[in-house]
Amino acid sequence: MSDEEHHFESKADAGASKTYPQQAGTIRKNGYIVIKGRPCKVVEVSTSKTGKHGHAKCHFVAIDIFTAKKLEDIVPSSHNCDVPHVNRTDYQLIDISEDGFVSLLTDSGDTKDDLRLPTDENLLKQIKEGFAEGKDLVVSVMSSMGEEQICALKDIGPK
């Protein structure tokens, strides 16, 4: 036995993985999948049967949940695909700063100030107009793979 102490350095971050594996043949429309390193929502799945010794292949058409870009991928149905962990959280809107950041109230009573206004013109207009009118607004924030973005808005009545 050795009396030396071993020191291990880990470059990995502690905590949960950003994705989990799932067999390609089990991923359905409206599910999520990672294509080219981006979290996407599946809008179309087609499965093709190939020759005698080939694999059945799944053709995925999906839309990036943050940029709304259309991405496609073809994967053998027996292989695993990465599926992102996608979370939606509702926060109450407190303030909109001049530089395009929003101030949100969490369930625990803390503030969250690190989110930008959405790039979607329609949603952006609704948030700014509702805030200017003094409405109580609740925004839905979608988070996945280390990214967060406001994706929806609810009016919970006047102040």
pLDDT at 157: 65
Q: Looking at residue 28, what is its pLDDT?
A: 93
Relative to beta strand 57-64, strand 147-158 is unpaired
CA gap 84, 37 in Å, rounded: 10
Dihedral (CA of 66, 68, 72, 77) sign: positive
Terminal alpha carbon distance of the chain: 71
Residue 28's φ and ψ, nearest 5 degrees, are -115, 170
What's the pLDDT at 54? 79
Residue from 73, 85, 79, 68 nearest 32 by CA: 85
pLDDT at 135: 84
The tens-digit pLDDT sequence of the chain (159 residues) is 555 665 555 444 445 678 899 999 899 999 999 999 999 999 999 998 877 777 889 999 999 998 889 999 999 988 999 999 999 999 998 988 888 889 999 888 888 888 888 888 888 888 888 888 888 889 999 999 889 998 888 887 655
Write down how long the chain is. Answer: 159
Q: Give me the pLDDT at residue 124, please.
A: 87
Cα–Cα distance measured from residue 87 to residue 69, given in angstroms and rounded to the nearest whole number: 20
